[in-house]
Amino acid sequence: MEAVRRVLLTGFEPFGQVKVNPSWAAVEGMPESVGQWEVHKRRMPVVFGIAQETVMDAIREVQPDLVIACGVAAGREKVTPELVAVNWRMASLPDNGGKVYSGEKIDPQGPAARMTDLDVSGIISAVRSEGIPCELSLSAGSYVCNDVYWEVLRWAGDTGRSGLFVHVPSEDKVTVEDDRRALHAILRIL
């Protein structure tokens, strides 16, 4: 018997034009366990800084081995695992606290970017083998999703654990059910 491992899955609340956020819909509907993974879920606020605090509070509580954070990228056609988080906040769309950023570092002392140590090629193959369109993304943007990924990868680097961010398209491109099947496929190979 393999030891149980804990995964923290997060999705976001609605924001801007997104009235129902498929990232949280997908995460909320995940089962309590997938294979060896004990699944923990959190809904995240779309607020710079507060979202980072929320994910770190959840990490302290759950003590996960793996964090997979999800968000919607409405313009995309495919499920897109993100390779990097950049040290940058820039968004003309106000966050849910009303704040906009014209461009500044998240952490003035930090590196330019952080990269996941997970096998992204293997992850993409696993999702595609379910018949779900999937490709690597080289930028999680500079809005709240990137902010959370930055913090997750900082934690992962500090603790020797792993983190991933997955952007999902709007529901007319990929259904919430397929987002969930993608998460299952990812958990099965990790």
Q: Is 162 in the site for ligand PCA (CB under 6 A)?
A: no
Other beta carbons within 10 Å of 84: 18
Q: Is 176 in the site for ligand PCA (CB under 6 A)?
A: no
CA dihedral for 71, 143, 67, 85, sign (positive or negative)? positive
Q: Which is nearer to ligand PCA, 55 or 65 (CB)?
A: 55
Collapsed DSSP state (helix, strand, coil) of residue 142: coil
Q: Is 150 in the site for ligand PCA (CB under 6 A)?
A: no
Q: Is 48 in the site for ligand PCA (CB under 6 A)?
A: no
Which region, judged by CB under 6 A, interacts with ligand PCA, from 127-135, 138-146, 170-178, 179-187? 138-146
- CA-to-CA distance for 134 and 112, rounded, in angstroms? 26
Q: Is 15 in the site for ligand PCA (CB under 6 A)?
A: yes
Q: Is 46 in the site for ligand PCA (CB under 6 A)?
A: yes
- CA-to-CA distance for 63 and 46, rounded, in angstroms? 23
Residues 6+ apart with CB under 8 A from 120: 81, 83, 136
Of these residues, 70, 134, 151, 167, which one is catalytic? Answer: 167
DSSP 4: P
Per-residue x/- track, 61-100, ligand PCA (CB under 6 A): ----------xxx---------------------------
167 part of the active site:
yes
Q: Which is nearer to ligand PCA, 21 or 87 (CB)?
A: 21
- CA-to-CA distance for 174 and 26, rounded, in angstroms? 11
Q: Which is nearer to ligand PCA, 86 or 118 (CB)?
A: 86
Residues 6+ apart with CB under 8 A from 24: 11, 12, 13, 43, 44, 70
Of these residues, 70, 82, 151, 171, which one is catalytic? Answer: 82
- Measured CA to CA in angstroms, residue 24 lies from 11, 29, 69, 111, 159 at distances of 4, 8, 10, 30, 26
Of these residues, 70, 145, 151, 171, which one is catalytic? Answer: 145
Q: Is 183 in the site for ligand PCA (CB under 6 A)?
A: no
**What amino acid positions are annotated as catalytic residues?**
82, 145, 167
Please report, as ranges, the residues that interact with ligand PCA according to CB under 6 A: 12, 15, 21, 23, 46, 71-73, 141, 143-145
